[in-house]
Amino acid sequence: MSWGVETQGIFGRLPIDQDFDNLIFRKQGSRWLSTGYHVLTLESRGVASLVVAARHPGLDVALLSYTNDAYGTTGVRLYVRGSGRFYWRTYQDAYPLPANGWGMIVYSASGKQTFHSDHRYADVKNSRYYIGSSRLPMRGHYYLLNSPATPTFEYETQNNSWYYDHRSWEQTGTRQVYRQVYEYNCRYEYVYDYSSGRYVNQRVCGYSYVYKWVTEPTYGYVVVGYTVHAEAKVLCTKYITLVRHHADDYVSEIRHRTHNRATAYFWATSYYDSVSPAWNGESWVYHQFNPAYQGHLKWLASPSYAGITGHSNKLVMLR
Amino acid sequence: MSFGIQVRAPGGDVTFELTSRLTTLIMSRVVGRNDSGSARLNIPGTMDFVAQAIPLDGDQHMRHVPHRLTYTASTRTLSWAPAISSDAQVSELEAWASPRRSRSRIVVFGYMPEAS
């Protein structure tokens, strides 16, 4: 550094010189939030390079994205768990202020104002590679609202197929049975008739038992066809990562599962066929699955799509 | 205050205080949803830095995925690429399960590392 102010602190060199370009405080606010998805508009017109910092004791918060217009950032989309007050501050690039009153101004050689003590400059208090489940003390500071919230998608495919028979009760054949049967038989006898005083030849009928071979039908269930069901499912487990700001002013990271093996895609078919399906070692495949299904879901077989994750960010605390 | 700079008004009020480290915006850049690229970071030698890819698109399904960042220390190069290979491949899934590429704002801050 060729001019300016330099302080040697325990955290390192602090030069306020011609290259100084700390972010400056812009404004702050708070809003009561409860569990759910929220869009917070912080600026009526977008600000380029706007940095958003947050505190939310007692709440779990995930930054989903910034909202923006043609000029820059206008706000944030958040997912919140719990209910409580969310405090935010915004920071932006420094801009020159008029030189009046008291304080200190630093200019570069070209006359650009690089420091003005009337600005409230961002001051990093701590930083950590993403905190995980460990607890990091906030000590009243804000942290840069970053996006560990990147959703994580884990997919699982399930194919299932089964069939059942269609049966009909019908005659399947005949069999010979040797059985006792009644037989009706008649004969003529001479019977005395008192009215006429004569014997008359009269027909007399009756039953008798006989054993003989008879043919009778046999019945049984006959499989006349098959109904084949096939279904394919994609199950998805989805997580977002939240920053938990404990009421005692520590922060830690928690993973929040928004969907647990929920069906994200379902395809099913059912058809009748008179020919028996075949076991292919995995499922009862009769016809190939719907080609459309195969086209849509082919990518899931690729290991690179087993899960979709973003990257983790560093946590930076500001004052 | 044991170190740093304070500026006080005549009444004694602290109007400005800087106690520890600088924050320097090294890069702020919006990249399109299908863009990938890289940039060499010019980070002052004593500084640490933090790089974030903040998604700019979003909806209530919470499914937008920002770019994946990779930093190569030897060349001081920050690279970015969409974190999912294609929107089209997952478009058949239910909306909540169908990740979307997002535009990202890649922000890199430089700051003094903390004492360890």
HSE on the CB side for A213, CA within 13 Å? 3
* Greater pLDDT, B90 or A137: A137
Rounded-to-integer distance, Cα A6 and Cα A17, Å: 8
Closest CA to B60 of A35, A84, A64, A150: A64
Q: Scan for tokens 């759910």, then name that residue.
A: A36
DSSP symbol at B115: P
In the structure, what pLDDT confidence band is assigned to residue A176 with cuts at 50, 70 and 90?
Answer: very high
Contacts of A20 in chain B (CB under 8 A): 22
Q: Scan for tokens 């801050």, then name that residue.
A: B109
How many CB atoms within 10 Å of residue A283? 15
Interface test with A, best of B3, B5, B116 (most A CBs within 10 A): B5
Q: Length of chain B in residues, anyone?
A: 116
Range list of H helices, B13-106: none
Averaged pLDDT of chain A: 82
Check residue A245 and give its pLDDT.
Answer: 92
What are the angstrom distances between the C-alpha of A5 and each of A8, A20, A24?
Answer: 10, 10, 18
Rounded-to-integer distance, Cα A270 and Cα A2, Å: 81
Nearest Cα of chain A lies from the Cα of B12 at a distance, in angstroms, of 12
Closest CA to B66 of A109, A223, A62, A111: A62
Q: Which of B3, B9, B20 sits opposite A124 (nearest CB)?
A: B20
Contact B11, B19 (CB under 8 A): no
Rounded-to-integer distance, Cα A5 and Cα A117, Å: 12
Closest CA to B69 of B100, B23, B108: B108
Check residue A274 and give its pLDDT.
Answer: 83
In sequence order, the β-bridge partners of residue A67 are: A75
Check residue A305 and give its pLDDT.
Answer: 44
Q: By mean pLDDT, which of A25-39, A50-64, A115-129, A187-201 is the weakest? A: A115-129
Nearest Cα of chain A lies from the Cα of B5 at a distance, in angstroms, of 8
> Model confidence over A243-292: pLDDT tens digits?
899 999 999 888 899 999 999 888 787 888 888 887 777 777 654 555 55
- Kind and range of the H or E element at A84? strand A84-92
Check residue B1 and give its pLDDT.
Answer: 43
Rounded-to-integer distance, Cα A222 and Cα A248, Å: 74
Check residue A306 and give its pLDDT.
Answer: 45
Task: Give the largest Cα separation in chain A, rounded.
Answer: 165
pLDDT of A187 strictly over 50: yes
Kindly compute the dihedral angle of the four CA atoms of residues A53, B80, A309, A74, in this order, to the nearest 10 degrees.
30
In the structure, what pLDDT confidence band is assigned to residue A77 with cuts at 50, 70 and 90?
Answer: very high
Rounded-to-integer distance, Cα A293 and Cα A268, Å: 9
In sequence order, the β-bridge partners of residue A172 are: none
pTM of structure: 0.75
Interface test with A, best of B1, B14, B16, B18 (most A CBs within 10 A): B18
Most confident region among A70-79, B1-10, B82-91 by mean pLDDT: A70-79
Q: Scan for tokens 């569990």, then name that residue.
A: A35
Query: Of all residues in chain A, what percent carry a pLDDT higher than 90?
Result: 35
Complex prediction ipTM: 0.83
Residue B105 contacts A, CB cutoff 8 Å: yes
> Phi/psi class of residue A293: alpha, beta or left (left: φ > 0; alpha: ψ in -120 to 50)?
alpha
Check residue A40 and give its pLDDT.
Answer: 96
* Partner A, chain B 53-82, Cβ-Cβ below 8 Å: 53-58, 60, 62-66, 68-69
> Model confidence over B93-113: pLDDT tens digits?
889 988 888 999 998 888 776
What are the angstrom distances between the C-alpha of A4 and each of A20, A109, A114, B1, B42?
Answer: 9, 11, 10, 21, 22
Q: By mean pLDDT, which of A22-26, A41-45, A261-265, B112-116 is the weakest? A: B112-116
Residue A4 contacts B, CB cutoff 8 Å: no
Q: What SS3 state is found at A310?
A: coil
